[in-house]
Structure 1
Amino acid sequence: MRSTVRDEMTEAVVAYEEKPREQWLFDYPAQVALTCTQIWWTTDVGMAFSRLEEGYENAMKEYYKKQVSQLNTLITMLIGQLSPGDRQKVMTICTIDVHARDVVAKIIAQKVENSQAFVWLSQLRHRWDERERHCFANICDAQFLYSYEYLGNTPRLVITPLTDR
């Protein structure tokens, strides 16, 4: 079971850029799609920080606009016809995406320009290590190997500033 989840994640994290996200997410189980979405959020914010450090002042704001666009696409999908399983998957990704958008908005509002800032490091960040072919979860200076335990297609709690703390 764990090797299957890991194999699916190995494939999905690479395939993420090959087609629009709203199509890609139907190619993989909910847990894999959600985790890979979180991996790519970490990657995209990291790229925005790199661009900021290179002097491109609007990098984070442009990424924020991309997030809003992605959320609008998910909302449009939820209005349409979806199977119960796909609806649950899209709602769960939407829930996590709202939190991710709020984190980026906070980074912009606080004028954070460095990926080593606590506002960013204090977030749960998933990353894919291509050399080890493993997913890791990072928060502050802690790193954990993702366990690939099957979680199913379940809803997530809305993340508020209080629950985030």
Structure 2
Amino acid sequence: MRCTVRKEIQEAVAAYEDKPRDQWLFDYPAQVGLTGSQVWWATDVGIAFGRVEEGFETALKDYNKKQITQLNSLIHMLVGHLTPGDRQKIMTICTIDVHARDVVANLISQKVSQAFPWLSQLRHRWDDETRHCYINICDAQFQFSYEYLGNTNRLVITPLTDRYSSVLHQSF
């Protein structure tokens, strides 16, 4: 089971840019799509920070516009006909996407450049060399366990739950 989840995440991350995200999501199980989306969110924010350092001052704002477009696309899908499983998957990804959009909007409003507000976020990344997914927060890193979680909903992330998560992960 863990080997399969790991293999699916690897394939999903590699295929992410091959088609529009709202189509890509249907190629993978919910957990894999959510994890792949989180990997690419952290990757895209990292790329935007790199572009800001290169002199492209609007890179984070441009990425935030992309986030809003992606989120609107998912919301539009929820209004249409979906199977119960696909509806649950899209609603879960929307929940995480709203938080991701808010994080980037806050980074923009605070004029952050890879400082603590970004590093304190739970960030997923795929390492091609080790072929593993890692989860980072602050200076801690954990290997993804690949335990099957299924197609479940996620809690809405609020500033309070976000702070609690940061404190909890710092204690490890």
User: What range is the shorter-chain TM-score in?
Assistant: over 0.9
Can you give the 5+ residue segments of structure 2 that lack an aligned partner in the other structure? 164-172
SS in 2 for 1:149: coil
Q: 1:119 aligns with which of 117, 120, 126?
A: 117
Give the equivalent residue in structure 2 for 1:87: 87
- Stretches of 4+ aligned residues off by more than 4 angstroms: none
Aligned length: 163
Q: Deviations over 1:16-54 (max 9, x none)?
A: 000000000000000000000000000000000000001
Q: Which amino acid aligns with 2:55?
A: G
Give the equivalent residue in structure 1 for 2:110: 110
CA distance in 1 between partners of 2:63 and 2:12 (Å): 21
SS in 1 for 2:121: coil
Give the equivalent residue in structure 1 for 2:54: 54
SS in 2 for 1:131: coil
Give the equivalent residue in structure 2 for 1:2: 2
SS in 2 for 1:94: helix
SS in 2 for 1:148: coil
RMSD over aligned Cα atoms = 0.4
CA distance in 1 between partners of 2:135 and 2:72 (Å): 27
**How much identity, in percent, do the aligned residues show?**
74
Give the equivalent residue in structure 1 for 2:22: 22
CA distance in 2 between partners of 1:24 and 1:57 (Å): 30
CA distance in 1 between partners of 2:10 and 2:41 (Å): 16
Q: 2:139 aligns with which of 141, 149, 165?
A: 141
Q: Which amino acid aligns with 2:150?
A: G
CA distance in 2 between partners of 1:163 and 1:119 (Å): 15
Deviation of 1:128 (Å): 0.3
CA distance in 1 between partners of 2:34 and 2:101 (Å): 15
